[in-house]
Amino acid sequence: MALDIQAIRRDFPILSKKVYNKPLVYLDNGATTQKPRCVVDKLVYNYYNENANIHRGVHFLSQEATEAHEEARRTVQQFLNARSSDEIVFTRGTTESINLVASSFTDECMSAGDEVIVSVMEHHSNIVPWQIQAARKGISLRVIPMNERGELDLEAYRQLFNEKTRLVSVAHVSNVLGTVNPVKEIVRIAHEQGVPVMIDGAQSVPHIPVDVQDLDAEFYVFSGHKIYGPTGIGVLYGKEEWLDRLPPYQGGGEMIASVSFEKTTFNELPFKFEAGTPDFIGSTALAEALRYVQALGMAEIEAYEHELLRYAEAKLEAIEGMRIFGKAREKSGVLSFLVGNIHHYDMGMLLDHLGIAVRTGHHCAQPLMQALGIEGTVRASFSFYNTKEEVDVLAAGIERVRKMF
């Protein structure tokens, strides 16, 4: 069933805000998404009604909060179609999830000279954690190149494997190019070589249906704030046998079975990876966000955002001097562009004064910018609450800025 966009927009109070006395056109969803009322209400409800530290208290309120947190974990499990809720670890977000895997996987499975395969279009958060491990342990990175459309070169990818390859870690969707990488195929190729895979789902989970059992990756990570949930909460999915195998990332309360000064034993999954008081308020609000998008339907969201992307591409391509970066055949709702010689920052600033929020710069993907031979782009990134009218405002805004230069 088609989405009722106007009804959806009413669920997001901020969308009726004015900036510089103009209606806000929010096209920075790749950076973070706006929150529906139900998610914010859930945060407030929890603080007023279910706030007690979890897993430790015998009292009523603590048990209620614990049950809500674990119910949220089951919601995430079901959303990703994971086998077990033990495979769902709550973290602070994609960045922390990747750092967790980089640290624990390197400790357990890698030694000097071993290699991790990433791609040229990774976000810094899937590059720098590996470089930190490289400095600690002498591991190194191999990089999958892309073609001119911004699609990963799978033949080159196959050639990167050797007896030193220990892990593949790639983005499902590029935050700059919008490319939807063929992760199922990427996983299949890695598995042929006996190599596990981590997928950065920061830009995929909010926009396309994801089934972790179908993809078969060992690890899959995402952030709550990019899928209409609160900031400060995210998810690491890991196959049980892998999470079991990896050592804890941080030490503290919650993640132990017993502690003495002589010896500490660790808790079972998933608590082994959740040291300290978890964000039990955020987890339940994230679950609320997942229920919200599920009620709309991930397939419906994908179809609508795709329609919006195609509409925007046609509109923007008609603008003189327009260069769009990322022409992949499989693409999600991200449009990176430059117009003539106009600096991305100037374009972003001037669009902002028209009420249009876009991202400018390197988008935390400087190696990708180097590969493209540019310093940065302007990026419009869409959500299901955006409209074709907003795309028209964007196109008219860009045209206006172009004429000024």
Binding site for ligand PMP (CB under 6 A): 93-95, 123, 125, 171, 175, 200, 202-203, 223, 364
Q: In terms of C-beta density within 10 A (0-12 exposed, 13-18 middle, 19 or more buried), how is residue 31 classed?
A: middle
What are the distances in angstroms from CA 222 to CA 14, 193, 202, 207, 338? 24, 26, 4, 12, 29
**Residue 293 parent element (H or E):** helix 280-296
d(CA 82, CA 98): 18
Positive/negative CA dihedral, 343, 348, 354, 358: positive
Least distance from ligand PMP to the Cβ atom of residue 101, Å: 13
Residue 6: what are its φ and ψ, rounded to 5°? -65, -40
Query: Count of alpha carbons within 13 Å of 405, Cβ hemisphere only?
Result: 16
d(CA 107, CA 264): 18
364 is catalytic: yes
Least distance from ligand PMP to the Cβ atom of residue 53, Å: 25
At 315, the amino acid letter reads: K
Contact, 316 vs 337, CB < 8 A? Answer: yes
Least distance from ligand PMP to the Cβ atom of residue 59, Å: 34
Q: In terms of C-beta density within 10 A (0-12 exposed, 13-18 middle, 19 or more buried), how is residue 45 classed?
A: middle
d(CA 288, CA 268): 26
Sheet holding 219-223, edge to edge: 88-91, 234-238, 219-223, 197-200, 165-171, 115-119, 140-144
Instruction: Give whichever of 66 and 95 is closer to ligand PMP, judged by the CB atom.
Output: 95
Least distance from ligand PMP to the Cβ atom of residue 128, Å: 11
Instruction: Give whichever of 297 and 367 is closer to ligand PMP, judged by the CB atom.
Output: 367
**Active-site position among 3, 24, 256, 364:** 364
Instruction: Give whichever of 95 and 133 is closer to ligand PMP, judged by the CB atom.
Output: 95
Least distance from ligand PMP to the Cβ atom of residue 32, Å: 8
Least distance from ligand PMP to the Cβ atom of residue 357, Å: 15
Instruction: Give whichever of 175 and 283 is closer to ligand PMP, judged by the CB atom.
Output: 175
Instruction: Give whichever of 118 and 339 is closer to ligand PMP, judged by the CB atom.
Output: 118
Query: Which residue numbers are catalytic?
Result: 364
